[in-house]
Structures are given as structure tokens and as C-alpha cells.
Structure 1
Amino acid sequence: MKNPLLVLISESVRNWFQIFDIAERYCFGYDIFMKFCLLFLIFFISCYSPVYNLEIDGKAYLKKGKNELEGGKYKDAIFSLSAAEREFPLLGDYALLWLSDAYHETGNHKESLKTIRALLDRYPHSPLGEKARIREVKEAEEVSEENIQQIYESYIKDFPRDAEVKYSYALWLKKNGKEDTAKSVFKEIYLDAGSFSKMAYNELNSSDITVEDLIKRASNLMRAMNFKGAESALRSAMDRDDGRFKNKIVDNHGLSLCEQRRYCEAAEGYEKANRRYWQVRSLYRAGEKEAFNSALDELLKSGDKRAGPILVSVASDERREGRIKEAIKMYQNVVGKYPSETEDALWGIGWTYFLTGEYKKAADIFTNLYDTYNDTRYLYWKARSLEANGEDAFSIYRTIVDMGKESDFYSIMSYTKYKRSYEQSNIDKTQKFFGTATPIRENPIPPRENDRVEALFDLGLSKEALLELIYISKNTSSMEDLLYICSKFQELGEYKYLVRLAVKVPHIEELLRFRYPLAYWDVVEGLSEKYGTDPLLVLSVAREESRFDSKARSTAGALGLMQIIPGTAYRLDNNLKLGINGSHELLDVKNNLHLGIFYLRNLIGEFSSYSHALAAYNAGEETVRKWLRKGNYKSADEFIEDIPYSETRNYVKRVITTFFEYKRLSSIEDGMIKFSLEKL
């Protein structure tokens, strides 16, 4: 193959000779001496000043070669990418990877393998390492290298979660007469319960799978949130078990049913296996009061110490039903008999006193809890108890805010309780009290080691730039690098990676804007204005629901940024007419936001409260209506703290905390945080 550098120089010289011929024809000729001088000048420029020009040409060759590869012009791509690798070493690993691809497409597997090994040798720390290793495996198999088994095993050792290569290895083993080893690999793939699991199972006999194997597969399925699949595997294990694994199978089978909210079925299975504790828990979740009370009596008679948390829940139910004395007595019984549950039981007593207006007793309990466990929640409710009792709690609220290294629900509630007092102070005092977000550079200066990213951006290779950024983000801790990477994630609109990186580091004001980005702002702002909803509240919901992952899926089947359940989406679309027919339409960013914002607007309209609406968004409207009918809440924080479902309670707290941070970011110019307790 011709040297691209020599080709480039020869083409330049040929072009200059053409220029001389034209000049000679129209300018009455040059003398020989003048021609010689000009030729020498061209030669001098070509020899001594190519570095900068060739780097630019090499960069252009890289882009040209990539386009030729994608366009199926493989021979042209080989020429261009060879030149790019020589002349633009900054991204030489990309040139070599694509060059290997081009050789592969022409059927020259030997040269493809040689090229990919050059990449691995010259760029040992490239983010393309895994892709290059996969290419090495495939090309080594194509040319039938003698050490192909070692290459496979080396790759699988370094990347054990790659089921595709593992499956290819098993097929290679089978093809080459190593059936026992192949069967072992196929079995491992099946038990891992990944994407190649079913294909691997087709290579096995049912006798190859033991009861223990089925239990292991079920555990992996549950880890992957495939509870239906886990249930099926455990039923098979149950049918084949000789009794040795009975308890383990029953426990896991019941768990798989509970995760599907099939609590009654789980309870039946636990009862048959005499797993009383798990039976009681399942009956409680099912709301089967009579059966629950009977099973609980049996559990208490057995002396099982795990009954403590269940009794705390029962005492809370007694209080909600208005049986205050019974609730207090039950909490006190837990403190006496189940020491490990003392904290939760004392909280229950204090909370019962607060809700029934015995604020002095509540304050004493919360003081004791804070002194013992140092949890801000107890200090906050001590302040609320004193305030409700007509005493001054300002200093406690201030202490809560001052002691927090970063915002949490209770410091925000403390700030909001006395917002008017802060607004009467000057901005400096407000900033000292809580702090406002520090503006950051819009475009941080890229560190020298990130030149590769800049080059990829210049070439319009955004996917490759993203790959590079993700790789760098895993191997840096410097603030300069973090700011640069975050700014680039934001520039690419890759908000899930942005937030994921920003929340990993300690709470630093410079990263606050990246922790709470204005994701998909044009869509959010437009739809929020249309439906009269605060766009920052919408962002807060999306951030806590999906961390801005537009493809997010939950165990309950919720989809997208706003985690919309398909059934809810179809119901809402009866009004919106977006044409939602399945998950594809629901995962569209604009559709998902449209449905979520419309739904949130409806909930706020019904409940006239952000906290109630957020709880309904998470737990369902009818559930919240029931809570509100039973409760007589005087304030938003009372309602939030008394939400029966811990998942929903924590969710509402997180969204409100995030909402506050977005409000804080929007207050940079005037230093005043516009956050109203009344709307909560």
C-alpha cells in the first residue's frame, strides 16, 4: 500500500508544476534559476512545516475514513484511516479500530487482527479497549489461530458479564469437540439469567439443571427484577426438590410473589411451609386483618424476636384508628420486650403525643431521641412541638439549618418555617444562614488531557465523545476535570450521566447546577406553561423518578422520565390524544413529559397541595384520599411525616428537597430563595 504521506507530497509537487507551466505560458517564461529557487522553496516548506498541516489533514482523514466506512467504501476507508492513524495520533486508537473494521469487511481478517492488536499495544488505556478485545476474539477465530481458546478465556476473565462473547466461546468449544466444557459455559450463561439465557438453555438437557441451579437462577432473575421469571424457576425447583431445599425455595418463592404484590398467595405458601413470620408479614401487606391477627398471636406465642417491627406497625394502625391508649401501650410493650426496636417505638410514642396535642410530652420524647440517636428529624419535631406549645423554637430551627452540610428535608422545613424572618434580613445574612448557589463558568477551560474529547467534538463524533467522557469520568477526581466533564454531558444533553456523576462527589456548590440541571428545558417549560404548573416542580419529579433516564423502567412497569404506568398513560391519553399505543410512544421524551405534567397538574388541582399531589403521584389518588379522610393534618410536614408507606414518604421528601434546590439555583441574582410553605 502506498505511503499516504508520500502521496500527499507528490500530489502537492505535481500541482505546483502545473502552476509553473501556466505561469510560463502566460508570463513569458521563467529562467531556470528562478524555477530552481521556487522548487527548493516548495521542498523546504514540505519538509519543515508539515506537522501542523498534516495534523489537520490527519484529522480530516479520520472523519473521511469514518464516513467511507459507514458508506461501504472499504478500500477508500482503508487508505484514509491508515493516513489518519499516522498523522493524527491523538485519536489513533479510533483510526485503528475503524481500520480493523474496514479490513474485516473486505475479508482480510489477518490484517484486521494485526491492526486491532496494534491498537491494544499502542493504546493500552484506550476507552476502546473492550471493543478492541471483542474484535480480536472474532478475528482470531476467523483466521483459526491456535491460541483462540486462551484469547477467549482471557477476555471472559476481564469482562465476565459479556454474555454474547461467552456464548460464542461455548459454541466454539462445542464445535471443536470440547463438549463438557461447552456445557459448563452454557449452564453458567443460563443461570446468570441474562440476554443469552434462553439460547444457552437450548444447548442443555433438563437433567443438566439441578434444584440448586434453579434456586441460583431465580436469585439472579430477582436481582434483575424479573420476579415472574423467578417465580417460574422456583416452582420448577419446588416440583423437583426432595425436601433438602424446602425452606429456601419457599422463602424465595414468597418473596417473588410479594414483589408482584400477590401477598395472599405468598401467605398461603408460607403457611403450608410453617414459615410463620413471613406469613404474618404477607397477611399484613394484604390487609387481611382477621387472618393477620390470628397468625400474629401464634407468632407471639412462639417467642419469635422478629415480631417487634410488626408490632410497631400494628401500634401505628391503632393510633390511626383513634385507639390512642392501646397504641401507646403497644409501643411501650415493644420497648420492654424488643430492645432492638426501641428507637422506632419511642418515635411512635412521641409522634402519637404530637398528633394528639400533648406537645410537652412529645418534646420530651423527641429530646430523648435526639440526644440518643443524633437524628435531625427528632430535633426538628422537638422544635415543632415547642412551637405548637407556644414556646420559642427559632434557635432550634436555625441550629438545624446551620448544622447541615447540604440541604435535607428538615433543614428546608426549618428554613421555610421562618422564611419571613430571613427575608426581613439583608441578603448577606440570608446567604450566611442557608447559602445560595455559586455561579460557575458556563464553559470551563478544558484540561490538556481532555484534548481527545475536544477533537471528537470538532469532528462531530458526539457518540464517541460521550464514550470518552464516560471513560474519563470513572478515572478522575479533580474538580477541574469534573466541571469539564459535567459541562460536556450537559452540552450533549446526556442528563442521566450528568446527574449520576455530579451526585457521586461531595456536596460542592460549584457542581450544584449540574446536580440539578434544567433537563429538556424547552419541552418542560412549554408544557408547564400550558398547564399552569411550576416547571421546577416538574424537573424535581423527573429527577427523582428516573434520574433523567428517558428509557428508565421500574419493577412496577412504569416507563420514562416521569415513570408513567401504561394504564395511567392510556387513561390520560383519552384527553390528550397523543396516540399512545405502547411503550415506544411512552418512552418518547416529549410524550412522557406531556403525560406526566398533565397528570401532575390534575393532582395539584384536586388536592390543592404539592405534598398531597406528590404522594398521589407515587401511591395513587384513591390511597391518598383515604389517608386524608382518616387524618386531620394541620400542616404539610405533618401529612408527609405520617404517610404510612415508607417508600412514598421518602419519595415526597426527596422531591421537595430537590424542588428547593432548583428554587435556590433560580435565586442566584437576588439571593432570596422563593420557596413557599403554603403551596406545600
Structure 2
Amino acid sequence: MALTFILTRPVILPVLLGLLLQHAPPAPDPQSAPTAHAALPGTLNELWLVPPDSDRTVKSNVPYVPLVQGLGRYRAADYSKALPLFATAALTGSPLGDYARYYLGMTELRMGRTKDARRTFESLVQRKPTGYLAVAAALGAAQAAEADKDHAAAIRIYERLADDKAALSDDVLSRLARAALASGDRRKAAAAFTRVYYEFPLTPGATAAGAQLTGLSAHAESRGYKADLGRAQILYGARRYADSRAAFADVRRHTSGDDRDLTDLRIAQADFHLRRWAAARDGLRPLLDRAKRRDEARYFYLSAVRELEDHADFVRLARALVQEFPESPWAEEALNSLGTHYILVGQDGQSADVFGELFRRFPFGARAERAAWKYGWWKYKTADYAETIRVFEQGSLNFPRSDYRPLFLYWAGRSHARLGAAGPAEARMRLVYTDYGNSYYGRLAERTLRARAGKRTDELVLPAAARTVPEPDTLARLPNERTIRLLLANELYDDALNELRHAQRASGPSPAIDATMAWVYSRQGELRRGINLMRRTYPQFLTAGGQDLPTEILEVIFPLTYWDAIERHSKTHGLDPYLVAALIAQESTFDPRIKSPANAVGLMQIVPATGRRLAQSAGIRNFTPAMLTDPEINLRLGTLYFARLSKQFGGTHYALASYNAGENRIVRWKAERPGIDEDEFIDDIPFPETQNYVKRILGTAENYRMLYARGGGRPLPVMGGPAAAKPAPATATPAAPTTRKPVPATKKPVPATKKPAPATKKPAPATKKPAPTTKKPGDSTRPKGTGSGE
């Protein structure tokens, strides 16, 4: 028996294992795993530091009225009337009493009462206030000491601040340097200016410090050419190409060997980015065969050749680079440029082959996501659905946080359906809906599932337990938390931002701090800045349950103003007002005065020539371009124009594409793609910017509908400017208030292969050259918002 067991064991075990595996549950499909998001706290108060409405009433803020009124007088330079307000006894004994003392000291300083200001600031410093106010009080004390000609005292304060990581800034060091100069200590001044020059090279203070160091060279200690080389590298990395070129040229004479080659390479690259193609080519030629970074040099050399329109040589050089340096990230860049080149010359099949090669060689590379999309989409269009599935599913696994992921999953699901595989098709669509339910692709997936599977919405979402990670410590107690809440309650927004930024530097990043800052930006009229920050802070808004986030959070992500006029003019022309609101959010972020580089103006970004033509149709007499900044007129003309486009082309998606890319192009694209489905038409638009534009507006329109039609959202009041009185600056300088202007809406396109000329904007021909590569290999190249299209 023992012998029989020994002989048969190798045969029996595989059989037993096979039987066990046959009846075992199937292995989990990695494609079905939802994105793991942090579980959110249960209350709004834990999501941010914004005080509830009950703490922002007139009654609750009565004790702080003198502070708010005093700040209004202070910023109007009416110091004699501000002074007694800051000195109100009830105010100085309140939780914001230290802020009253601070502004009392600043007022005394402005009035020339230097001794009084010094006593006020010294008293405040001794009280040891928390947060940013401690820094501001010290700066005020130093400024008062300087005004009193006590430079030694000012220097002691600045040196203490310079040793505090949370307080250190180029401003503190510059003040230290100037105080040292005033005291006659040129060596100390040179040391401080040197720190500004090397440690804060991207600031305006660094430029001023460099000029000062020219006259202090006898007193400055040299940091060696390596420090200058490092500074030049920082400037280059920040895309300050003219400054970096000058810095590299200045340090070149001190370099040799590899450092000399690096310097020459960066000078030539700066020339390239400054569009000096021939100079770049000539500067790179000596580095092609001998330098350590010759793969990088060859990439920029072939790029310069491309810009000089020697296309045959460009193709040859790109292929040679890939062959000689097959694993170099610059070979990936060369393939990306080559694939783009073939798109621009109308050879889409060859372009797809190149992008397929790129994805195969560099499956996790900086350009791999784009390559997978370009190659996989071509395979879908040519009905190679099996290859489409392979590429898109691999892309979704390789880049689980990519903006391309919803495209990958959605079109993989559509490809499974084309092949008759209902199970995988439904699984992919459920995953798209779970992770991106409140986006363009999530809603496409929802409609697909409803039509094919007949499922209810609550049956579409994958189990929540599978897609959450432990909740982080979202709101660790901050020492200045009460101060922040009180400042916000009284609309002292810039003071609150100072405190929030100080908390970030002292305690590290926090979703609650970021969300609060996003809310402040929105309240100040910087809607786009608030949108972007809140989206990054709580990306859960995109998921299937995103609409359940607190309404107040969603109002920052989807702001709405001028609603009455939007609704009225939309209904006049039979348009969906929520679609129009989404279009305005994309075009202008509700800034009626914004003007684009193409001369498009106002809420719906209308160029004067188009406005004049529409005004005639609308019966508006004596039209002038300035009228386009009037929200009523802009909306009247813009909705008229969009309604015409919708009627002309017979579909909202066509009208949106035309609004962005031009009517003639839509006529041509429709003719080239007759009868294809709407989702296929949109993703086959040749201009990535227009793809993104259409998908974002279609997706966002539903967000606006859910929030403001059914979710209790409240449109913002129309403001003539920022909501708050001008508080203290968000810098280390306590004296000059910060003036903020609303940030204009900026459409950040994906790395475009062709560039559209928007219909309502000044026409511009599509570029025939791909944009120069400015990112280094390894940098993120994900397209802004292309994936989810929310």
C-alpha cells in the first residue's frame, strides 16, 4: 500500500486539486474593484471649519461689529475713526480681542504714533496669541521698532521668525536684510539676502535680493557654483525658461565635465521652449553622442527638427532614439511625439500603431494613459473589440486613479456588449456607475444598465464595504480653530485664510482645512479656485452617492449665480436652464466681466462680432462691445445663439461642440460620421479640448439639476465684488491688505493634438505642430477632466 501511494500520489494530487478548484468560488475580477475612497465623517461640521448658519447671524456677531467697522475705516485710511473702534472695551475682552489689539497697533503705526504702536504690539506678543496672529504681531512689533529707528530690536524679532519653520518666508528674510542694512551690518544683510536668493528663487524677493547682492559681494559668503546650478535647475523646472537660461549661462564658466554638459543641455532646452528652434538644434548637436544625457539631448534635438518642419528627418531621428535607447523615458516621449505627428498629417492608422507600441513598451509610463486611449479607440472604431478590451482593461488596472479610467471601463463594457458578453459588459458598467455615477460616463452607464438589465438605481452600485478605506483623522483639533470659525462668521476672510495657511504649515495637510479654504475662495468671488480645491479635497462627489454630500459642499463645486436671468432667457428659447448654467460655469465661471485672449466677453463668452450680429436679430439697438459685460444682454444673446445651434444641428451635443469648435467643423464631422451613436460621436471628436468641453457640460448639467432643482441648493447672490471687507493680507507682511480679483475660468485642455477655434471666440487656425514637451519623463500628464467628463 505504501508503494502504491508513493507511485500514485503525483497523479492523484493534480486530480484532487482540479476537483477542488472546479467547485471553488471564482477568483475576484480585478476589473470589478471599485475605487477605494476614504469614508467621510457624518456631519458637515467635521468636513470643514465653516461655522453653521446659526453662528453667522447678525445677533451672534454683535460683539464683533466694532472690529468689522474698524477694519472698514482702516482700509479706507480713516485712521482717526478706526482707532476708537478697535479700542472698544467689549471688543478687547472678546475671543477676537487680540485681533482688535493687532489692528489697533497697525492703526497707531499708520498715524505715526510709533511709541504707542510698539507698546501695543509688545503687549500683544506677551499674550502669546495662537496661529498666524503670533507671526503678524511679531512682524508688527518689528515694523514699529524700525519706524522708531530701533533696528537692533527689529533684527532680533526677524531672526527669531527666520528660525521658525512655520513663520519663515522670503518676506521675513528680506525684512531682516533691510533692517541689517539700516543698522550698518552689511555682512548680516548679505547673509539674509543670500538665503532669499537661493532658498526662495521663484519669488519676486529673490530678484530683488540678487540685485542687492551685487553691491554686497564683498560681504557675501559664496555657496559655490553647485548652489547656482541648483538654483538654475529650480528655475528651469518651474518653466521660467528665460530666467533659467540666463542663470545657466552665468554659471557655465565655472563648470566642467558632466556639469558643463548639463548646463549646455539646459541652455539649449531653454532655447527650445523659447521657440528658438535653430539655436536649440545647434546647441544640442555637440551633445548627441558624448553626453551622459544624450537620450534627452536627442529627444530635444529631434523636436527642434520637427519644429523646423523637416518631418522626414524627425521621423528618422525618433525611430533611431527608440532603437538605441529602448528603455529610456525619452524614447517614450519620442513615440508620443511621433504618434502625434501622424495624427497631424492625417495618418491615423500609423498613429495608432505607434501609440500601441508606446503602451506595450511603457505600460506604466508618463504617456501610457494617452497611448492606451489613442490605440484602443482606433481598435474600437475598426471593430477589433477583443483588442479594445485588452488594452482598455489593462489601462484601467495600470492607472486606477487616472482621468482616463472611466473611458477605459465604459468602452471596454461597450466592447464586451458588441461581442455578446453580457456579464462582463454589465460588470464594467456597474463599476463605471459606482465610481463615476455623478459624471458624464456614470450617467451613460446608468442609462445602459437600465435599458439592458432593467435594474433600479440602488441595485447598480457595488457594495460600499468593498470601496471604502478607514476614515482619516479629518479634523484634528487645531489650536486656532475657534479663531478661524469666528473670523469666518464675521466675513473676515483674508484673516481666516492667513490662519488656515499657518495651520497647514504647522500641522500638515487636512481635508477640513482645504475644504474651508475652498469655501472662502467661493465667498470671495474666486469661484474657479474654490471649485478646483473642493473637487480635489472631496473627490467622492463624482461617485454614485456623491449627491449625498452636504449641500453646502456641493454648492462650492457647482456654484450658481444669475439664476433668475438664466432661467428666464433659457425658457424663452426652449433651452434647459441647467444645461445653460453648466455651459456658463465652463465658459466664464459666472464672471460677467471676464474677457478671453480671443476677445470673447462675459458670461457666455461672446465675441463682439457675433454679439453685433445677434443683437440685430434680438432687436437690441446701438449695440457696443461693452454691452456684453451686462449679464442680461449677454444671456439674452448667448441663449439665442445656442438655441439656433441646437435647431441647426439637431442635438445638444452637436450644439455644444459647435459652440466650442465652430459651426463649419460640426458640419464636416457629421458628414464624416453619419449615423453613429451620440457617445461614439463625442469621443471621436478630433479635438480633445472639444471632447472634454462637451462631456463636462453634459455631465455637470445633471449635477446642477440635482443640486438646485431637487437638492435644496441655494444660488449665490449677485455680487459687485468680493463678499468681505478687505482684511489682513495672506502674507507675512501685516501692513498692506491683499486685494483679490475673481479668477477667470480657464479651460485646461488635454495635451491636444489639434486645437479648435471656438465658435464664439476669435477664429484661429488649428495648429499644425504638436505643443513642445515641457514635462520631464515621470511627470503626470493626465488630461484635466477628460476622463470623467463631469
Give the TM-score normalised by structure 1: 0.66
Structure 1 residue 139 displacement after superposition: 1.0
Whether 1:415 aligns to 2:446 is yes
Letter of the structure 1 residue corresponding to residue 301 of structure 2: Q
> Residues 348-387 of structure 1 correspond to what in structure 2 (within 5 A)?
350-363=376-389, 366=392, 375-387=405-417
Structure-1 residue corresponding to 2:298: 276
Structure 1 residue 404 displacement after superposition: 1.6
> Residues 583-622 of structure 1 correspond to what in structure 2 (within 5 A)?
601=642
Instruction: Tell me if structure 2 keeps the 8 A contact 1:453–1:465.
Output: no
**Which residue of the other structure, out of 639, 655, 658, is the alignment partner of 2:700?**
658
Structure 1 residue 661 displacement after superposition: 2.5
Structure 1 residue 561 displacement after superposition: 8.8
Structure-1 residue corresponding to 2:558: 516
Structure-2 residue corresponding to 1:115: 120
Give the fraction of aligned pairs with identical amino acids, expressed as a percent. Answer: 20
Instruction: Tell me if structure 1 keeps the 8 A contact 2:682–2:694.
Output: yes
Instruction: Tell me if structure 2 keeps the 8 A contact 1:486–1:498.
Output: yes
Whether 1:505 aligns to 2:563 is no
| Secondary structure of the structure 1 residue equivalent to 2:430 | helix
| Secondary structure of the structure 2 residue equivalent to 1:404 | helix
Structure 1 residue 138 displacement after superposition: 0.3
**Which residue of the other structure, out of 141, 147, 161, is the alignment partner of 1:142?**
147
> 1: CA distance between counterparts of 2:527 and 2:689?
25
Deviations 1:427-485 (A, max 9, x none): xx3466479xxxxxxxxxxxxx9887887688xx64x2453377469679999999999
> 1: CA distance between counterparts of 2:392 and 2:208?
58
Deviations 1:65-109 (A, max 9, x none): 556656766566544433336664132122202211232234332
> 1: CA distance between counterparts of 2:159 and 2:168?
13
Structure-1 residue corresponding to 2:431: 400
The structure carrying a bigger helix percent of its residues is 1
Instruction: Tell me if structure 2 keeps the 8 A contact 1:545–1:561.
Output: no
Larger radius of gyration: 1
**Which residue of the other structure, out of 166, 171, 174, is the alignment partner of 1:167?**
174
Instruction: From the superposition, tell whether residues 389 and 315 of structure 1 become closer, same or farther in structure 2 (CA, over 3 Å).
Output: farther
Instruction: Tell me if structure 2 keeps the 8 A contact 1:615–1:648.
Output: yes
Structure 1 residue 115 displacement after superposition: 1.4
Deviations 1:385-415 (A, max 9, x none): 2344566476245422453265345323312
| Secondary structure of the structure 1 residue equivalent to 2:676 | coil
Letter of the structure 2 residue corresponding to residue 110 of structure 1: K
> Residues 203-282 of structure 1 correspond to what in structure 2 (within 5 A)?
203-205=212-214, 216=230, 218-221=232-235, 226-234=240-248, 245-253=259-267, 255-256=269-270, 266-274=280-288, 275-282=297-304
Deviations 1:342-393 (A, max 9, x none): 8876665543331112335534554566677765543322222234456647
> 2: CA distance between counterparts of 1:648 and 1:287?
27
Structure-2 residue corresponding to 1:93: 98
**Which residue of the other structure, out of 556, 565, 585, is the alignment partner of 2:597?**
565
Letter of the structure 1 residue corresponding to residue 124 of structure 2: L
| Number of residue pairs the alignment of both structures matches | 584
Letter of the structure 1 residue corresponding to residue 707 of structure 2: L
Whether 1:292 aligns to 2:314 is yes
Deviations 1:23-59 (A, max 9, x none): xxxxxxxxxxxxxxxxxxxxxxxxxxxxxxxx99965
Structure 1 residue 515 displacement after superposition: 2.0
| Secondary structure of the structure 1 residue equivalent to 2:105 | helix
Letter of the structure 2 residue corresponding to residue 495 of structure 1: L
**Which residue of the other structure, out of 656, 669, 676, is the alignment partner of 1:634?**
676
> Residues 48-63 of structure 1 correspond to what in structure 2 (within 5 A)?
59=64, 61-62=66-67
Structure-2 residue corresponding to 1:311: 335
> 1: CA distance between counterparts of 2:449 and 2:409?
16
Give the TM-score normalised by structure 2: 0.58
| Secondary structure of the structure 2 residue equivalent to 1:518 | coil
> 2: CA distance between counterparts of 1:222 and 1:98?
41
Whether 1:181 aligns to 2:188 is yes
Structure 1 residue 184 displacement after superposition: 3.7
Instruction: Tell me if structure 1 keeps the 8 A contact 2:73–2:81.
Output: yes
Instruction: Tell me if structure 1 keeps the 8 A contact 2:139–2:158.
Output: no
Structure 1 residue 305 displacement after superposition: 2.5
Instruction: Tell me if structure 1 keeps the 8 A contact 2:385–2:416.
Output: yes
> 2: CA distance between counterparts of 1:301 and 1:648?
35
Structure-2 residue corresponding to 1:202: 211
Structure 1 residue 292 displacement after superposition: 0.8
Structure 1 residue 116 displacement after superposition: 2.0
Instruction: From the superposition, tell whether residues 270 and 168 of structure 1 become closer, same or farther in structure 2 (CA, over 3 Å).
Output: same
Structure 1 residue 296 displacement after superposition: 1.8
Instruction: From the superposition, tell whether residues 285 and 395 of structure 1 become closer, same or farther in structure 2 (CA, over 3 Å).
Output: farther
Deviations 1:117-167 (A, max 9, x none): 333443622554443232122012233164432211223344677444433
Instruction: Tell me if structure 2 keeps the 8 A contact 1:379–1:396.
Output: no
